[in-house]
Structure 1
Amino acid sequence: MICGGDTNQQVKVNGELVEQVATFNFLGSIIDNAGGSSQEIRRRLVMVRSSAIALTDIWKDRGISKATKIHIMDALVFPIALYGCETWAVGMTDKKKILALEMWCWRKMLRMSWKEHKTNEFVRNQFGEHASYAKK
């Protein structure tokens, strides 16, 4: 991959032409030639949504305490989103998507529909001291 500059350059190793790509997966993260993180962030958010939906039976189980569900969310769902985030260049659009997904996860866990018209602050208050990941 050639980042920036003339992308028509040809790279040869041992006489063989090396294929040029616009994106590639490196250590579980998507790297693109523009240097942005939006594609990787979108991919991570889709993975988080999928994992939270897969845990629907746990979220619906009234025999599991809210504290245990929070620990499950912290251990199984949010690490998927946060893997490799240290290297992301996060813009305002991406930050809003991350915050929206976090609230979606908490609402999913609480079995709270958006139709109930509860504010994000109300949802956060349901968790007491448990702060938002995006604000850390």
Structure 2
Amino acid sequence: MAESEEELKSLLMKVKEESEKVGFKLNIQKTKIMASGPITSWKIDGETVRTVIDFIFWGSKITADGDCSHEIKRCLFLGRKVMTNLDSILKSRDITLPTNVHLVKAMGFPVVMYGCESWTIKKAEHQRIDAFELCYWRRLLRVPRTARRSNQSILRKSVLNIHWKD
């Protein structure tokens, strides 16, 4: 990361020089830069470095404007998909509620939260994530959507079932 175009050029040249010292060659055709402001295209060794408006970093899409709503929606979709695949297990009366809670915490929620360190969350996205969580706690506790139960009571009940004896 760099504060200015000159600093970025300097960093890229340093990476190029240091990699050549150990026998590696920087592939300019695969090298891309992203800027939050206007940037002119520039060349290294006669090859133009491409400027992009977004890229994937550690499995999360980073955009120049910092908008993460599309990424959060994608993760919520993947989380719903995982939870749908777990549906038959979660609805089974043979598996205890504490075990189901651990399954959801181990398999469902991590899918949604993967890459969240790089997200810029707005209020609407925060509400979507909370709604996802509450939807699945309600499903686990077998509380229908039409039941007039507060979110707090659902969360309290789910928290009580997390602390179980081994």
TM-score by length of 2: 0.68
Instruction: Indicate the residue corresponding to 1:58 in structure 2.
Output: 89
Task: Tell whether 2:139 aligns with 1:124.
Answer: no
CA distance in structure 1 between the aligned counterparts of 2:124 and 2:161, rounded to whole angstroms: 24
Q: CA deviation at 1:29?
A: 0.7
Task: Tell whether 2:123 aligns with 1:92.
Answer: yes
Q: Which moved more, 1:53-62 or 1:11-20?
A: 11-20
CA distance in structure 2 between the aligned counterparts of 1:64 and 1:38, rounded to whole angstroms: 35
Q: CA deviation at 1:30?
A: 0.7
Q: CA deviation at 1:107?
A: 1.9
Matched residue type, 1:2:
M
Q: CA deviation at 1:59?
A: 1.2
Aligned alpha-carbon RMSD (Å) = 2.1
Instruction: Indicate the residue corresponding to 2:35 in structure 1.
Output: 3
* Among candidates 18, 34, 46, match of residue 49 of structure 2: 18
Q: CA deviation at 1:130?
A: 6.4
Cα 1:11–1:81 change in 2 (3 A) is farther
Matched residue type, 1:28:
G
> Higher RCO, 1 or 2 (CA under 8 Å, sep at least 6)?
1
Q: How many residues align?
A: 130
Matched residue type, 1:61:
S
Q: Secondary structure at the match of 2:35?
A: coil
| Structure 2 portions without partners, runs of 5+ | 1-32
| Structure 1 portions without partners, runs of 5+ | 132-136
Indicate if the aligned counterparts of 1:59 and 1:109 stay in contact, CA closer than 8 A: yes
Deviation digits for residues 91-125 of structure 1, max 9, x if unmatched? 21111111111111212323433123332123123
* Among candidates 31, 36, 43, match of residue 74 of structure 2: 43
Cα 1:130–1:85 change in 2 (3 A) is farther
Task: Tell whether 2:103 aligns with 1:72.
Answer: yes
Cα 1:109–1:13 change in 2 (3 A) is farther
